[in-house]
Amino acid sequence: MTQPDNPSLRTRQRQQREAQLLQLARHILQHEGFAALSMDRLTALSDVSKGTIYNHFCSKEDVLTALSISSLQRLNLLFQRAVQHGTHSRECALALHYCYCLFGESEPALFLCLFSAATPAVLEKASPERLALRLQLEQQLLAQCEQLIQQACLHLVLPPAAGTLVSHYAYLNWALAFGSNALFAPGQHLGLFRQISLSDVCLQGVNLLFDGMGWQPLSTQQDYQQYWRQLDLQLKPGLLEIIHKELS
């Protein structure tokens, strides 16, 4: 029979190598651009053969999907940390948006993976296993948002409305956060929105959306810009630690 430690050791080594490969892929994206990411290039930078790389990823697009998964895992951790910071539900929700914005600003390459991995060309060639994992992680993120919204309804600081309110609200929060971040990078690249600060516009967008929802206290009653600055001072260092843990 095999030794009891052997399989777990193998698994650990395998995971470690996969993390190294993803690290290298990230390096290529960051320093040589997305067009430079090829299996050849990845093989050249790694210390394994092409066949071994295909033992981890079924296609080049699967590599991008794996990077998007590690982004989602990191976002989940950020959310878990940030949601504890606020003193009421609207502050907590704002803290989640702060996480998303911070992630996009401090790790643009990883955010662009998240963006690119949602593209049909990538979705079509990613492995079913990774797509399932991605779905699970996105559901986890959504669940954190929905829980917060539900809590706000229960505490009567968020007026109830008809229909599938909670999932719609969560969708719209996600859409606004994703859209704000996704527009920014290519916009800058093209020369659009040159005078806009991502952080400012995200904060403003969330304020408007939450005010529209009637989520109390409204931005006329509390200065959320000040809370955002508070997040910068109190939460940012811990979040950056999470983002950079086991990165580079």
Q: Which of 23, 59, 106, 199 binds DNA (CB under 7 A)?
A: 59
Q: At what angle do helices 236-244 and 89-106 cross, to 10 degrees?
A: 50
Q: Which of 163, 147, 149, 137 shows the shortest CA–CA distance to 209?
A: 149
Q: Which residues bind its own copies (CB under 8 A)?
A: 33-35, 37, 112, 115-116, 118-121, 123-125, 131, 134-135, 138-139, 142, 164, 167-168, 171-172, 174-180, 182-183, 185-187, 189-193, 195-196, 200-201, 204-205, 207-213
Distance CA 234, CA 186 (A): 30
Q: Which of 49, 73, 84, 234 binds DNA (CB under 7 A)?
A: 49
| Minimal distance, residue 217 CB to its own copies, in Å | 14
Q: Does 244 bind DNA (CB under 7 A)?
A: no
Contacts of 131 (CB under 8 A, 6+ apart): 65, 123
> What number of other Cβ atoms are within 10 A of residue 163's Cβ?
7
Distance CA 238, CA 245 (A): 10
Q: Which of 41, 81, 88, 236 binds DNA (CB under 7 A)?
A: 41
Q: What, of its own copies, DNA, none, does residue 88 touch, CB below 5 to 8 Å by kind?
A: none
Q: What, of DNA, its own copies, none, does residue 52 touch, CB below 5 to 8 Å by kind?
A: DNA
Site string for DNA, 8-37 (x = CB under 7 A): --x---x--x-------------------x
Q: Which of 19, 23, 45, 58 binds DNA (CB under 7 A)?
A: 58
Determine whether 88 is exposed, middle or buried from the number of CB atoms within 10 Å of its CB (0-12, 13-18, 19+): middle
Angle CA 78–81–82, to nearest 5: 80
Q: What, of its own copies, DNA, none, does residue 48 touch, CB below 5 to 8 Å by kind?
A: DNA
